[in-house]
Structure 1
Amino acid sequence: MKKKLSITLIACLGLAYFSYGQWNAKGPSSDFGISWGGFVKADYIYDTRQNVTAREGDFLLFPSLANMEGGKDINAEPNFNILAVQTRLTGKIHGPDFFGMKTSGVIEGAFFGQSDSNINGFRLRHAYVQLSNDKVDIIMGQYWNPLFVATMYPGTYSFNTGVPFQPFSRNPQLRITTKGNVRFIGVIFSERDFATRGPDAPLGSSIFLRNSGLPQFHTQLQFGGKEFLGGFGINLKPIRPELGGNTITNTVLISYMKTKVGKATFKLEGVYGENMSDVLSISGLAQDTNGGYTSNRTLSVWGELEGKGKNFEWGIFSGYTKNNGFKDPVGGAIYGLAPTMDHAFRISPRIGWFSGNMIIGTEFEYTSAQYGNLAANNMDIDTNGIDSVSNFRVLVSAIYGF
């Protein structure tokens, strides 16, 4: 039923665009319209191990914890798949001014689905309107989380885009960005598809943020341009894990830079924060010994070097994330995304060939994870007696843009 609705939606959009285009060609309002674009992407995936993933392995996070049966780790078995669910459709809208400000909008969806149960289903990615003048840009709607810096994210062929080392999320928001060599970015936002994990919501829910009565707040200072880009920011997330309980505020700090190195580009980013499961970082929330809640603290660093030739492109991504334990002693249940994993790292070189609108790329992704348990002090992570686990992924992607 959902697939039929998705097909119907796309058909209606196409018909609406055709009909409006015919009307608009005859009418006086030629300053309004929509143009369609996107890409078709096919992924061929081989993993040497079972992994924690989304969408039947397409979105890889990290290797699965060892599962010993009869003295054998049954998760140390390979996996193979072919998928095209990242295929994307984007509508870019332009229109008349709004009280002297230029207007534009974006509607974007993909066939990634909302969960494994409806994979191939059409889902919303971005939906926002933008107001612009020579001093400021204003975005209203669903767009990248401000911790995902759209001007310098990893260029991996893998759809994980550096997760869990790189924060990843899209959120309904109000964003104001000033213009110039030094730019201020201010954002208030909620949670939707990517949400905090907590009581009765092991996979995440926006209820914890909504019940705080407040949005998330983010401020960021960004400077530079094409040759060099730098920035730093702070994020505040108020959550109320239980009605009648206290609201706690989780803080995240981010710093980043991008610069030219000869003909190549180098990117570096560091993130330190509390309870970041909503941006797919290893992290957690737990009941403490005083009847309240405590959060863990995670440090993540990633870097990338990439370049492009006449008909080929290359890059190498590496990342490291470390769980620094909980702020207070844990006295009850723990929630989150691998909240007792001690650390993980990844290195993934890639090379691709392009001509016209077509790219065929290959990426080799090695990810290692060290799981652990809560230590005797009920705050730190203890890895004694637990071996690290690793996965080697070979990915071949064919991408056709339009």
Structure 2
Amino acid sequence: MKKSLFITAFSVFTAFISVAQEQTQKPKIEVKPYGYVAWETIFDTYKSVDTRDGELYLYPLKPNIDANGTDVNKKHQLQMLSLTTRLGLKISGPDILGAKTSAMVETDFYATASEYTRLLRVRHAIMTLKWQHSELIMGHYWHPIIVNEVIPSTLAFGAGAPFHSLNRSPQIRFTYYPIEKVRLSATALTQGYHKSMGPAEAQRNSGLPELMAQAAFVKNKSFIFGLSAGYKWLTPRLYITSSNTGTHKTVGQYLFSVFTAANMAKTNIKFETVYGENLTHLIMIGGYGRVTETSADSDYDYANLRTLSTWLDVNHKLGKWSIGVFAGYSKLLGSNKNYSTIASYHRNDDMNYVYRISPRVSYKEENLVLGIEYMLTTAVYGKTFDAQHKVTSSLDPVSNNRITISAKYSF
């Protein structure tokens, strides 16, 4: 009897130990917080197209000449901001479906519109399943035209907008690595708070996602070269007032990009060119509108404005110091159809071209970074246009000088 009780007790004990060992070996969910506190002082010499109290800067406004012949947009401005202060969580969990799983949630105080400035927004919110040769991302993340390895290192918020794309969108993205150093991805996404200019539900009303494909050659962290191609559909209106009838007229719009980056011992060089139709959801100039030959009350077709944008960013480290420069150029190329400014949706379809040169210096001590950046942005607006909205003559250039002094405490 005693022997039987001993065997039973020993069996229960060993079973308990076995379960305990399994529990200790089972992967747990780990959460790691990160982020930074930011402060900036921003000084401008010319009123400009910007948002969030000037945090996101694009380019100078068109000249505004008063009765005395004075350009009233020549006005000094000063602002202090901490809107980009950021808090995030990196989450790792157990293997699921044979994949390593992780997630990321990130927020800041930039908000989703100027009227909500200083309120929290969803910046990133993604879950990731990573297999040996592939990866699946689902959630709210960078538009795939924004490549993590090829983002400008500017101190100013926006990473070089409107020359470099700025967009985060709800999406599902699959990435495949067929061989070492080759990365292929396909993405389906919809527009979130970064929408095309015009009716807010134009992309949703199309019933179709924006589609993006990308191929890249990646050599560790030292070099990357790649190409992107995408297409989206917009249905701006569902009703024709004059005829009291519905319409589902949809317009398609393409985009292409080429990008590269090289990391040497102390120097980093990044370059990108983007070309496409109606790139306004990427915070670029351009748009689309009614074809001129059709009536504004008819079920008309649309003419897309094409935009070319290119930029270069160079950064060099000198111990705790870093020096760098960003240069960008963007031009509105008109349409391949006759374009009407009536019933049009755009971000400055009156622009000819805009360019920027922006040197910077920063100093890092532990988790504190101090920096100063000078930004010269010049815009040249069109004065006259042909039927396809190509510029035939221009106004005099207007320029803004911006100085940003910044501090960032990371954790």
Matched, 1:68 2:78: no
Q: How does 1:180-219 map to 2 (within 5 A)?
A: 180-198=180-198, 201=199, 205=200, 207-219=201-213
**Secondary structure of residue in 1 paired with 2:203:** helix
1:147-186 residue CA offsets vs partner (Å, 9 max, x unmatched):
1111111000000211111111000000111233011011
Instruction: Name whichever of 27-36 and 244-253 sits farther off.
Output: 27-36
Matched, 1:394 2:399: no
Distance across 2 between alignment mates of 1:369 and 1:30: 55
Matched, 1:250 2:247: no
Per the alignment, residue 232 of structure 2 pairs with 237
1:349-369 residue CA offsets vs partner (Å, 9 max, x unmatched):
001000100000110000000
Q: 2:51 aligns with which of 40, 54, 62?
A: 54
1:245 deviation in Å?
3.4
Q: TM-score scaled to structure 1, two decimals?
A: 0.89
Tell me if the contact between 1:344 and 1:370 (Cα under 8 Å) persists in the aligned partners. Answer: yes
Matched, 1:268 2:271: yes
Q: 1:32 aligns with which of 29, 43, 51?
A: 29
Distance across 2 between alignment mates of 1:308 and 1:133: 35
1:261 deviation in Å?
5.1
Per the alignment, residue 18 of structure 1 pairs with none
Per the alignment, residue 220 of structure 1 pairs with 214
Per the alignment, residue 13 of structure 1 pairs with none
Per the alignment, residue 162 of structure 2 pairs with 164
Tell me if the contact between 2:222 and 2:264 (Cα under 8 Å) persists in the aligned partners. Answer: no
1:122-157 residue CA offsets vs partner (Å, 9 max, x unmatched):
111000100001111110000000111111110000
Query: Which 5+ residue runs of structure 1 have no aligned equivalent?
Result: 1-26
Q: How does 1:3-402 map to 2 (within 5 A)?
A: 31-70=28-67, 71-179=69-177, 180-198=180-198, 201=199, 205=200, 207-225=201-219, 226-243=221-238, 244-260=247-263, 263-288=266-291, 289-290=293-294, 291-331=300-340, 332-373=342-383, 375-384=385-394, 386-402=395-411
Tell me if the contact between 2:143 and 2:167 (Cα under 8 Å) persists in the aligned partners. Answer: yes
**Secondary structure of residue in 2 paired with 1:211:** helix
Distance across 2 between alignment mates of 1:48 and 1:383: 26
1:194 deviation in Å?
0.4
Tell me if the contact between 1:327 and 1:379 (Cα under 8 Å) persists in the aligned partners. Answer: no
Tell me if the contact between 1:47 and 1:79 (Cα under 8 Å) persists in the aligned partners. Answer: yes
- Higher-Rg structure is 2
Distance across 2 between alignment mates of 1:254 and 1:350: 26
| Number of residue-to-residue matches in the alignment | 369
Distance across 2 between alignment mates of 1:224 and 1:265: 15
Distance across 1 between alignment mates of 2:154 and 2:267: 15
Tell me if the contact between 1:147 and 1:168 (Cα under 8 Å) persists in the aligned partners. Answer: no
1:30 deviation in Å?
5.8
Tell me if the contact between 1:299 and 1:322 (Cα under 8 Å) persists in the aligned partners. Answer: yes
Tell me if the contact between 1:274 and 1:296 (Cα under 8 Å) persists in the aligned partners. Answer: yes
Tell me if the contact between 1:370 and 1:383 (Cα under 8 Å) persists in the aligned partners. Answer: no
User: Structure 1 378/152 Cα, relative in aligned 2: closer, same or farther at 3 Å?
Assistant: closer
1:282 deviation in Å?
0.5
Instruction: Name whichever of 242-251 and 386-395 sits farther off.
Output: 242-251
Distance across 1 between alignment mates of 2:83 and 2:339: 40
Instruction: Name whichever of 243-252 and 277-286 sits farther off.
Output: 243-252
Distance across 2 between alignment mates of 1:212 and 1:273: 19
1:255 deviation in Å?
0.2
Tell me if the contact between 1:46 and 1:81 (Cα under 8 Å) persists in the aligned partners. Answer: yes
Per the alignment, residue 20 of structure 1 pairs with none
Per the alignment, residue 11 of structure 2 pairs with none
Distance across 1 between alignment mates of 2:192 and 2:313: 29
Instruction: Name whichever of 257-266 and 309-318 sits farther off.
Output: 257-266
Instruction: Name whichever of 388-397 and 62-71 sits farther off.
Output: 62-71
Tell me if the contact between 1:245 and 1:292 (Cα under 8 Å) persists in the aligned partners. Answer: no
Query: Which 5+ residue runs of structure 2 have no aligned equivalent?
Result: 1-22, 239-246, 295-299
1:24-75 residue CA offsets vs partner (Å, 9 max, x unmatched):
xxx9676112111100010110001111111001110111111111211111
1:269-295 residue CA offsets vs partner (Å, 9 max, x unmatched):
111100000001101111112321111
Taking only the aligned residue pairs, the percentage that are identical comes to 32
Paired residue type of 2:255: V
User: Structure 1 67/152 Cα, relative in aligned 2: closer, same or farther at 3 Å?
Assistant: same
Q: TM-score scaled to structure 2, two decimals?
A: 0.87
| Consecutive aligned runs of 4 or more in structure 1 exceeding 6 Å deviation | none
Paired residue type of 1:63: P
Distance across 2 between alignment mates of 1:190 and 1:32: 30
Paired residue type of 2:358: S
1:98-120 residue CA offsets vs partner (Å, 9 max, x unmatched):
12111100110001122222211
Distance across 2 between alignment mates of 1:142 and 1:82: 29
